[in-house]
């Protein structure tokens, strides 16, 4: 009897241990990140958005090289990086927050874990106060038309603001949306009317998301 109890306790301990190592890829715990206000900005360096699906493949769980957050990659359209980079340049030039805008069109190449150091070097070379760096994890366009789709647009990206002088990340912002019909999410009614009830394109969705992020930065 005592032997059976010991075996039962061993099995219970074994399964509890295994469960601790099991990772729920749809609900990965994000590390704590303390944000700080924007400094006085005279010059901003913008680097191209990195296509993480191109680097790691689709359906991969990717750990950010900048702050340790986890993201799941999906399909990314081939022109998404150029579109997002150009959109970021346009929107920052329209804003009064970011000073002079300079672009560095050397694309994302670093997967070694020293991405922050690389961005800081580029920022110092440009004599910029901050660096804006973005990463795309999913950028899939709708299949269909304005009022009827077989599959909706779906976009996930992350953008970081890096303080060159302090050599640290000031802020990180994520955007992730797969458009759904109003019947599936009544809380999105304001977005539904803003879009005039249409199924938007991935570019429209991403541009709107990026614009909102930049407007809310303080």
pTM of the predicted model, to two decimals? 0.78
pLDDT digits (tens, 9 = 90+) for 178-190: 988 655 655 566 6
Taken in order of first residue, the domains within the chain and their CATH numbers are: 37-216 (3.40.50)
* Tokens 């991935």 sit on residue: 202
User: Mean pLDDT over residues 8-32, rounded?
Assistant: 37
Rounded Cα distance, 186 and 174, in Å: 22
Rounded Cα distance, 179 and 202, in Å: 9
Of 57-71, 87-101, 107-121, 141-155, give the lowest mean pLDDT range: 107-121
pLDDT digits (tens, 9 = 90+) for 57-68: 999 998 886 777
- Tell me which H or E stretch contains 181: none
At residue 186, what are phi and psi to the nearest 5 degrees? -70, -20
What share of the chain has pLDDT > 70, as a percent?
Answer: 72
Torsion of CA 40, 45, 48, 53, to 10 degrees: -50
């Amino acid at each position: 009897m005592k032997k059976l109890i010991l075996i039962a306790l061993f099995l219970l301990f074994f399964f509890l241990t295994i469960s601790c190592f099991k990772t729920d890829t749809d609900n990965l715990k994000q590390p704590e990140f303390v944000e700080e206000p924007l400094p006085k900005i005279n010059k901003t360096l913008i680097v191209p958005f990195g296509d993480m699906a191109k680097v790691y493949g689709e359906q991969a769980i990717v750990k950010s090289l900048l702050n340790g957050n986890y993201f799941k990659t999906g399909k990314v359209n081939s022109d998404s990086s150029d579109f997002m980079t150009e959109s970021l340049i346009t929107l920052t030039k329209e804003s009064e927050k970011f000073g002079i805008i300079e672009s560095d069109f050397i694309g994302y190449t670093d997967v070694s874990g020293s991405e922050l150091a690389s961005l800081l070097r580029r920022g110092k070379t440009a004599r910029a106060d901050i660096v804006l760096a973005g990463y795309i994890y999913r950028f899939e366009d709708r299949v269909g038309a304005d009022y009827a789709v077989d599959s909706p647009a779906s976009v996930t990206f992350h953008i970081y603001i890096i303080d060159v002088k302090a050599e640290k990340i000031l802020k990180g912002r994520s955007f992730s949306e797969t458009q759904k019909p109003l019947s599936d999410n009544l809380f999105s009614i304001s977005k539904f009317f803003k879009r005039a009830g249409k199924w938007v394109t991935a570019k429209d969705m991403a541009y709107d998301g990026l614009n909102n992020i930049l407007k809310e930065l303080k």
